[in-house]
Amino acid sequence: MRTKTLYRCDAQKIDISRFPNFHITGSITGMKKLYYGKNALLVRCG
């Protein structure tokens, strides 16, 4: 799975609240398989 690092100051610029976000304990892979598709950009918080 591809990951990107996004710093807090940059997050405010691009308004990451538009993207689905999950706690660090959540399964991003599972959410992509079940709901969003493999090319979706999801945000992991924490």
3-37 pLDDT, tens digit per residue, is 677 788 888 888 887 877 777 777 878 888 888 88
Confidence band (pLDDT; 50, 70, 90) for 46? low
Residue 17 in any domain: the answer is yes
Query: What is the rounded distance in angstroms from the CA atom of residue 29 to the CA atom of residue 9?
Result: 26
Q: For residue 32, is it within any domain? A: yes
Q: Looking at residue 4, what is its pLDDT?
A: 72
Q: Is residue 3 included in any domain, yes or no?
A: no
Residue 1 in any domain: the answer is no
Q: Which domain holds residue 31?
A: 8-45
The count of domains in the chain is: 1
pLDDT beyond 80 at 44: no
Residue 2 lies in a domain: no
Q: What is the predicted pLDDT for the residue at 1?
A: 61
Q: Residue 35: which residues within 8 A CB-CB, separation 6 or more?
A: none
